[in-house]
Protein backbone atom coordinates (compact mmCIF):
# COMPACT_ATOMS: atom_id res chain seq x y z
CA UNK A 1 0.00 0.00 0.00
CA UNK A 2 1.39 3.34 -1.03
CA UNK A 3 1.63 6.16 1.54
CA UNK A 4 -0.40 9.28 0.78
CA UNK A 5 1.37 12.35 -0.50
CA UNK A 6 2.40 14.65 2.37
CA UNK A 7 0.28 17.44 0.88
CA UNK A 8 -2.80 15.20 1.12
CA UNK A 9 -2.62 14.76 4.91
CA UNK A 10 -4.97 16.90 6.98
CA UNK A 11 -3.33 17.42 10.39
CA UNK A 12 -6.74 18.06 11.94
CA UNK A 13 -7.48 14.37 11.42
CA UNK A 14 -4.31 13.20 13.18
CA UNK A 15 -4.77 12.10 16.81
CA UNK A 16 -1.37 13.40 17.91
CA UNK A 17 -2.10 16.89 16.60
CA UNK A 18 -5.56 16.96 18.16
CA UNK A 19 -4.19 15.73 21.52
CA UNK A 20 -1.53 18.47 21.41
CA UNK A 21 -4.23 21.06 20.66
CA UNK A 22 -6.40 19.77 23.51
CA UNK A 23 -3.39 19.98 25.82
CA UNK A 24 -2.84 23.60 24.79
CA UNK A 25 -6.50 24.36 25.41
CA UNK A 26 -6.54 22.59 28.78
CA UNK A 27 -3.45 24.50 29.97
CA UNK A 28 -4.99 27.76 28.77
CA UNK A 29 -8.24 27.06 30.62
CA UNK A 30 -6.36 26.01 33.75
CA UNK A 31 -4.23 29.16 33.77
CA UNK A 32 -7.30 31.32 33.12
CA UNK A 33 -9.15 29.76 36.06
CA UNK A 34 -6.21 29.68 38.45
CA UNK A 35 -5.27 33.24 37.44
CA UNK A 36 -3.34 35.24 39.97
CA UNK A 37 -2.65 32.22 42.17
CA UNK A 38 0.20 31.63 39.72
CA UNK A 39 0.24 27.84 39.78
CA UNK A 40 0.92 25.79 36.66
CA UNK A 41 -0.81 22.46 35.96
CA UNK A 42 2.44 20.62 36.74
CA UNK A 43 2.92 22.51 40.00
CA UNK A 44 -0.67 21.69 40.95
CA UNK A 45 -0.03 17.99 40.19
CA UNK A 46 3.08 18.03 42.39
CA UNK A 47 1.29 19.78 45.25
CA UNK A 48 -1.65 17.39 45.03
CA UNK A 49 0.58 14.30 44.89
CA UNK A 50 2.53 15.46 47.96
CA UNK A 51 -0.74 16.24 49.78
CA UNK A 52 -2.01 12.76 48.91
CA UNK A 53 1.21 11.10 50.07
CA UNK A 54 3.11 13.22 52.63
CA UNK A 55 6.76 12.24 52.81
CA UNK A 56 6.82 11.05 49.17
CA UNK A 57 10.36 11.14 47.86
CA UNK A 58 11.24 13.21 44.82
CA UNK A 59 11.90 10.20 42.60
CA UNK A 60 8.52 8.64 43.42
CA UNK A 61 6.85 12.01 42.85
CA UNK A 62 8.41 12.16 39.39
CA UNK A 63 6.94 8.77 38.51
CA UNK A 64 3.58 9.62 40.08
CA UNK A 65 3.10 12.73 37.93
CA UNK A 66 4.98 11.42 34.86
CA UNK A 67 7.91 13.84 34.78
CA UNK A 68 11.59 13.23 34.31
CA UNK A 69 13.77 13.67 37.39
CA UNK A 70 15.37 16.97 36.34
CA UNK A 71 12.02 18.62 35.52
CA UNK A 72 10.62 17.40 38.83
CA UNK A 73 13.64 18.87 40.60
CA UNK A 74 12.93 22.26 39.03
CA UNK A 75 9.25 22.10 39.98
CA UNK A 76 10.14 21.17 43.56
CA UNK A 77 12.74 23.97 43.67
CA UNK A 78 10.13 26.55 42.62
CA UNK A 79 7.54 25.27 45.10
CA UNK A 80 10.13 25.23 47.87
CA UNK A 81 11.18 28.80 47.00
CA UNK A 82 7.54 29.87 47.31
CA UNK A 83 7.48 28.30 50.77
CA UNK A 84 4.92 25.67 49.77
CA UNK A 85 7.07 22.54 50.02
CA UNK A 86 9.55 21.34 52.57
CA UNK A 87 12.29 19.04 51.29
CA UNK A 88 14.36 17.03 53.73
CA UNK A 89 16.78 14.13 53.59
CA UNK A 90 15.11 10.78 54.20
CA UNK A 91 16.16 9.13 57.46
CA UNK A 92 16.08 5.78 55.61
CA UNK A 93 18.08 6.78 52.53
CA UNK A 94 20.44 9.77 52.70
CA UNK A 95 20.22 10.14 48.90
CA UNK A 96 16.43 10.49 48.89
CA UNK A 97 14.61 13.78 49.48
CA UNK A 98 11.22 13.50 51.18
CA UNK A 99 8.60 16.16 50.48
CA UNK A 100 5.88 17.64 52.62
CA UNK A 101 3.52 20.56 52.15
CA UNK A 102 4.08 23.50 54.45
CA UNK A 103 1.03 25.16 56.03
CA UNK A 104 1.37 27.81 53.31
CA UNK A 105 1.44 25.05 50.67
CA UNK A 106 -1.66 23.45 52.16
CA UNK A 107 -3.44 26.82 52.00
CA UNK A 108 -2.31 27.37 48.39
CA UNK A 109 -3.65 23.95 47.44
CA UNK A 110 -6.99 24.69 49.14
CA UNK A 111 -7.21 27.88 47.07
CA UNK A 112 -6.22 26.19 43.79
CA UNK A 113 -8.55 23.18 43.97
CA UNK A 114 -11.82 25.03 43.24
CA UNK A 115 -10.22 26.75 40.22
CA UNK A 116 -8.74 23.44 39.03
CA UNK A 117 -12.17 21.79 39.28
CA UNK A 118 -13.77 24.64 37.31
CA UNK A 119 -11.10 24.16 34.63
CA UNK A 120 -11.81 20.42 34.39
CA UNK A 121 -15.53 21.15 34.09
CA UNK A 122 -14.90 23.72 31.36
CA UNK A 123 -12.67 21.35 29.39
CA UNK A 124 -15.43 18.73 29.31
CA UNK A 125 -18.35 21.20 29.02
CA UNK A 126 -19.02 20.51 25.30
CA UNK A 127 -19.70 16.82 26.08
CA UNK A 128 -22.82 15.23 27.53
CA UNK A 129 -22.49 13.22 30.75
CA UNK A 130 -22.37 9.96 28.77
CA UNK A 131 -19.80 11.38 26.36
CA UNK A 132 -17.67 12.57 29.29
CA UNK A 133 -17.65 9.10 30.81
CA UNK A 134 -16.79 7.51 27.45
CA UNK A 135 -14.10 10.10 26.70
CA UNK A 136 -12.46 9.68 30.11
CA UNK A 137 -12.59 5.88 29.82
CA UNK A 138 -10.99 5.98 26.35
CA UNK A 139 -8.44 8.60 27.43
CA UNK A 140 -7.44 6.49 30.44
CA UNK A 141 -7.08 3.44 28.19
CA UNK A 142 -4.86 5.30 25.72
CA UNK A 143 -2.67 6.64 28.52
CA UNK A 144 -2.44 3.31 30.31
CA UNK A 145 -1.76 1.17 27.25
CA UNK A 146 0.78 3.63 25.82
CA UNK A 147 2.42 4.50 29.15
CA UNK A 148 5.59 2.53 28.46
CA UNK A 149 6.16 4.59 25.30
CA UNK A 150 6.37 7.82 27.29
CA UNK A 151 9.67 9.59 27.87
CA UNK A 152 8.57 9.75 31.54
CA UNK A 153 6.25 6.79 32.24
CA UNK A 154 3.87 7.19 35.16
CA UNK A 155 3.38 4.65 37.90
CA UNK A 156 -0.17 6.02 38.22
CA UNK A 157 -1.04 4.79 34.72
CA UNK A 158 -0.43 1.24 35.87
CA UNK A 159 -3.17 1.36 38.53
According to DSSP, residue 126 is labeled: T
pLDDT of residue 159 exceeding 60:
no
**DSSP string covering 56-122, please?**
-BHHHHHHHTT--HHHHHHHHHHHHHTTSEEEEE-SS-TT-EEEEE-HHHHHHHHHHHHHHHHHHHH
pLDDT of residue 82: 97
pLDDT of residue 134: 98
pLDDT bin (cut points 50, 70, 90) of residue 8 is confident
| Span between the terminal Cα atoms of the chain, in Å | 39
pLDDT of residue 61 exceeding 80:
yes
* Mean predicted confidence (pLDDT) in 108-129: 97
Residue 129: CA count within 13 A, CB half-sphere: 0
| pTM reported for the whole predicted model | 0.89
From CA 18, how far away is CA 147, in angstroms rounded? Answer: 18
pLDDT of residue 157: 54
* Mean predicted confidence (pLDDT) in 95-118: 95
pLDDT of residue 125: 98
pLDDT of residue 118: 97
What is the CB neighbour count within 10 angstroms for residue 36? 5
What is the CB neighbour count within 10 angstroms for residue 47? 23
Amino acid sequence: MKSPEPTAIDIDHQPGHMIRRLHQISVGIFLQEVGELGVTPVQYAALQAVANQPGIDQRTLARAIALDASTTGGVVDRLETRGWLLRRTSPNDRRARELELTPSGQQALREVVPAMLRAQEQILAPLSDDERQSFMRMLARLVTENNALSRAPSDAALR
